[in-house]
Amino acid sequence: MKRRRSVARAAKTKPGKNAAPPKCAPKLALGQLDRHLGYFLRRLQIWVFQDFIETLRSMKVRPAQYSVLLLIEANPGRSQAVIGQTLGIERARLARLLHEMERRKWVARRASGSDARSHSLHLTADGEKELAKIKSLAERHEARLADHVGPKRHRQLMDLLRDFG
């Protein structure tokens, strides 16, 4: 199916308001897909991330940043290497994440006394203040997640996955 390419790109698509109601989900067979844990894991994980990002949009915080902030809060003074290993974030990526958080004055990198190569990571006073707001929003997200999957299932999943990790 070849279609012509046009050069002019000017006409805006303005949404009208006499649209038909959206069609229901067509309910296809999943086939072998429903024997794969990874498939369901990923579906739920996508929902979780999207809700998290939406909930924390006002703070402009993404899941990776949030996890780094929490880990610095719980383990002040540690190095980038240790934080990255714990979260599974690669060195290069963490360096850039911290660069951004330092620019926002949420995180301070101090020289480590014991190792001149590494940085000792701390939250600034600003960072702690912002993190309090962020955690409050994150709790709201978690509540919505519990509501989405059902409180009982939420508890069960949490127990299963936490024990495993």
Partner DNA sequence: CGCACTTTGTTGTCAATGACAACATTCTGC
Partner DNA sequence: GCAGAATGTTGTCATTGACAACAAAGTGCG
Q: Which is nearer to its own copies, 36 or 133 (CB)?
A: 36
User: Pattern of binders to its own copies over 74-103, x per CB under 8 A?
Assistant: xx--x---xx-xx-x---------------
Task: Let me know: does 84 contact 129? Beta carbons within 8 Å.
Answer: no
From the CA atom positions of the chain, what is the Rg in Å?
22
Binding residue for DNA, selected from 59, 81, 137, 149, defined by CB under 7 A:
81
Distance, in Å, from the CA atom of 122 to the CA atom of 126, rounded to the nearest integer, reads 11
- The residues near 106 (Cβ < 8 Å, ≥ 6 apart) are 69, 123, 124, 126, 127, 130, 131
| Segment near DNA (CB under 7 A); pick from 92-100, 123-131, 147-155, 157-165 | 92-100
Q: Is there binding between residue 58 and its own copies (CB under 8 A)? A: no
Q: Is there binding between residue 9 and its own copies (CB under 8 A)? A: no
Question: Hey, what are 102's tokens?
Answer: 């330092």
Q: Is there binding between residue 36 and DNA (CB under 7 A)? A: no
> What ranges in 56-79 are assigned the alpha helix state H?
63-74
- Which chain residues interact with DNA by CB under 7 A? 1, 3-6, 8-20, 22-23, 50, 62-64, 79-81, 84, 89-93, 95-96, 98-99, 109, 115-119
